[in-house]
Amino acid sequence: MEPDIRLLGIIEYVIGYIVTLAVTVFYGVAASWYKNPAGRYIFILLLSITLVLTNSMIRIIFPSQLWTSYVGLGLFAFYILAMFSLGVGIYNAQIRRYYLDRIAAGKSTLDVLAQLKESNEHDDS
């Protein structure tokens, strides 16, 4: 009974990997993801998921091979880099939105002391 469940899990994983890889490649080739920040974030997430699944897929195909550990380290390093760049991008988008909202409201974006005083007043109330 146990080997059947393991085989079913491997087949499910392989199908999931193929679908994820196909979606990532299709989105990377067919979509204009590089033209706006949201598209870049989606592509980075798809790429990150594909990198992690690729690592596991290699270990399924080549079990107990030493070189798969090195490949896995490399793929996971790319995953960390992708997640870091995604975090930086989201942070920058939030900062940009904050300053654009301040400009639209007619508030100064350069007076740091006034901003601190304003934030303290909001915290006190």
Question: What range defines the domain where residue 110 resides?
Answer: 2-124
Cβ(52)–Cβ(79) under 8 Å?
yes
Say whether pLDDT at 3 is over 70: no
pLDDT tens track for 72-116 = 889 889 889 888 988 888 888 777 777 777 777 777 666 656 666
C-alpha span between 96 and 107 (Å, rounded)? 14
Say whether pLDDT at 21 is over 90: yes
Say how many domains are in the chain.
Answer: 1
Give the angle subtended at the CA of 78 by the CAs of 61 and 47, to the nearest 5°: 75
C-alpha span between 88 and 12 (Å, rounded)? 34
Instruction: Please give the backbone phi and psi of residue 95, each rounded to the nearest 5 degrees, phi first.
Output: -65, -45
pLDDT tens track for 36-82 = 888 888 898 898 899 889 988 998 888 888 898 898 889 889 889 88
In 3-state terms, what secondary structure has residue 125?
A: coil
